[in-house]
Amino acid sequence: MALSAVVDVELGDRSYPVVVGAGARHELASLIPGEVARVAVVTQTEIGIEVDPGRASRTFAIPRGEGAKSLATVENLCREWARWGLTRRDAVVAVGGGMVTDVGGFAASVYHRGIPVVHVATTLLGQIDAAVGGKTGVNLPEGKNLVGAFWQPTAVVCDSETLQSMPSREWRCGRGEMAKYQFIGAGDLRGLDLHEQVVRCIRLKADVVAADEREGGARAILNYGHTLAHALEIAGGFDLRHGEAVAIGLVYAAEVARRLGRIDDDRVQEHRAVVEHFELDHRLPAGVDIDGTIMLFGRDKKAVAGTTFVLDGPNGVEPVVVDDDALLRDALEAIR
């Protein structure tokens, strides 16, 4: 099989390839370190995508839904691995979307204080964002991704064949993240075919991760649109997937940036146009508690001093502390 693209995440002796193309999952065995004896495959029953790691393996299914992205799920995985006899010479392969790679990667990072993990990303969101970069984690009732670790994979596999059976809501979820990439440096993605869109997003993320592995500065741009998105997800009660929430968050961030004088009305309209191109809504869901949402901004994991947003501006997208609740409230009203 001739693979379409290999994007390297350059991290010195921890560098790894992201293999992109039709049938890429069939290269999995060659991407697992040679000394690995056994592989724990973490997936969800509904995904139904089989992989061959080329050595003894066992499949461990985790539940679906954000409620399963929890410390309890990680504990269950680690206990099942221990009962199976998984050792630090073995490895994990996470097969699924962002929830599976987040949970599987975090469990791999803490089991025996860290064993190798390879991600086989089966959704658009997973391929362009969640599986690349080494950020793993789970939720607490108090917030999204508040417990986790930086644990770089040994390799990432992005097989375009796994996208063919993706439900429409999963497409929308991935397109929300894709819209984000258009504003943080990937260029105009709207006229490209899907393969080139995916490769461009991965290349940009690989460059950002190589420059700032642990989110000390530049990597924060990858959170563009996520402050409002995470608040909506924490609040719950809305029929929103992650990428759909990010799309709303992008337009909200643009409204905040305009009120701060960082961008003009035309740039705000460009945000709306890109989100609409990817067939996503940019309005707040009905029933959002404005004051409660502003309170939840402070629980975002990137908040250090004040409410930290990632905002567009004359120097591009960058973190900005905003301490004007009236401004934040006005911007929320603008996207009702």
> Which residues are designated catalytic?
113, 135, 177, 205, 215, 219, 223, 226, 230, 242
In sequence order, the β-bridge partners of residue 148 are 137
SS3 assignment, position 91: strand
Q: Which residues contact 253 (CB under 8 A, 6 or more apart)?
A: 224, 225, 227, 228, 271, 309, 310, 311, 312
In sequence order, the β-bridge partners of residue 322 are 307
Rounded Cα gap, residues 38 and 70, in angstroms: 25
In sequence order, the β-bridge partners of residue 157 are 19, 120
Rounded Cα gap, residues 8 and 217, in angstroms: 21
Tokens of 229: 């998105």
Tokens of 169: 């809501």
> What single letter denotes the amino acid at residue 65?
G
Rounded Cα gap, residues 314 and 299, in angstroms: 27
Rounded Cα gap, residues 120 and 207, in angstroms: 20
Rounded Cα gap, residues 271 and 250, in angstroms: 7
Give me the helices (H) in 46-167, please: 71-84, 98-110, 124-125
SS3 assignment, position 295: helix
Distances from the Cα of 298 to the Cα of 46, 86, 303, 325, angstroms: 35, 40, 6, 11
Rounded Cα gap, residues 103 and 331, in angstroms: 34
